[in-house]
Amino acid sequence: MAHNDVGSVDDDNHSDRRAFLQAAGTAGAAGLAATAGCLGMGGGGSGGSGGSGPLNVIVWNDYTEIQDELSDRIGTEVKMTAMTSSTKMFTKWNTGGASQFDMALPNNNLVNKFYQADLLQSIDTGSISNWGSMYQQFKDISKRQFQHDGKMFGVPIRFGWYGISYDKEQVPEQKRKTVDTLWDDEYEGKVAVYDNHFKAIAMAALKLGFQDAFEGQKVTLSDSQLKECKQALIEQKPLLFGYLSGNPSWVKAYKQNNVHAGWSGRNEIVQLQQDGVSRAGTTVAKEGGLAWYEGAIVSKKSDRKEDVQKLINEMLSPDLGAKLARAGGAPTTNPDISKNLSSKEEERFMVDPARMKSLIPFKPMAEEEKWIKAWEEVKNA
């Protein structure tokens, strides 16, 4: 839950934390969506998804901070491999990795891509006791996005959104709420964008006024619109510090004063403020923001479904969920984590998911291969 105090995360959000915490867990409103990403380290591979060996899971980097505690909680070694994007997770599984890993945590817009590629097995939410504690809004959206033939294929873990991030000492207030700032010559060499075709092209589409492209079940850009997005991103390149691959890269670049403005997740700014970088700020651009949440999935080739469901349940527990919030700067879908947070942490981490109604949900892309091709052409230009 964000406030307008000095050091608060969202400069455009006025809300009452106490009232929100009293209401947390009640039925939310409809349509939202989305995801997160980070840096790789250790794990995965040889033991695969079988038998009594380690439970192999693909995660975002900050999950590794609770790896040992998760292992202790479920009584099985949890071996984590961190990746920087949901697309990389899918590519890994779709090229044979589904037999090596038991679970992954892609963004919500990729979960059905795994399902359609016949890479998933269903999840028994009745075996996940913390499912009942989740915000009602995420239970509802799970049924709409992750349920097929009455079976559930994903469980939401954390959520947040993408928008404008800025250095309060460098970017005046009037420039903090528009994507146009990321094309402003004044910030030459100080702009950052994620190295991700969806996030970057979606940002350009919002700048160009293509909001209608986000209204269907998939994000649909015409060939001419995609061409315009590509050209806009090519024109932006001289202003960039770089294309960043994950949250740690973003946080490091910001701390070293290499970035003054960018298109990033709210969670990166929370992490910076936790580290005492009070000049870091974020807001939803007037052109729109992109909402995400992570979905825990189980490999169809895993025979460790019961262990994975225990793992998911512990990720949603109030105490480990609070640690995940601290590690990644994003709240989990269980509001009970507030019981394990200080008042200051509640202000930073607790976000009413109803706020996401006004944001554009992460969605699958129509003709994604064209987006990928366009993005490679941008980077090679």
Give the chain's domains with CATH numbers. 24-159+291-356 (3.40.190.10), 162-289+364-380 (3.40.190.10)
pLDDT of residue 246: 76
What is the pLDDT tens value at each position of the chain, 381 positions in all?
333 222 345 554 433 333 333 333 333 333 333 333 333 333 333 345 455 799 999 999 999 999 999 999 999 999 999 998 899 999 999 999 999 999 999 999 999 999 999 999 999 999 999 999 999 999 999 999 999 999 999 999 999 999 999 999 999 999 999 999 999 999 999 999 999 999 999 999 999 999 999 998 899 999 999 999 999 999 999 999 999 987 788 899 999 999 999 999 999 999 999 899 999 999 999 999 999 999 999 999 999 999 999 999 999 999 999 999 999 999 999 999 999 999 999 988 898 888 888 899 898 999 999 999 999 999 999
Other Cβ atoms closer than 10 A to 164: 28
What is the per-residue pLDDT for 245? 83
What 3-state class would DSSP assign to 244?
Answer: strand
Q: How remote is the C-alpha of 22 from its chain's centroid?
A: 26
> At 308, phi and psi to the nearest 5?
-65, -40
Residue among 340, 295, 255 at smallest CA distance from 125: 295
pLDDT at 143: 93
Phi, psi of 170 (to 5 degrees): -115, -30
What 3-state DSSP class applies to 28?
Answer: coil
Q: What is the pLDDT of residue 36?
A: 38
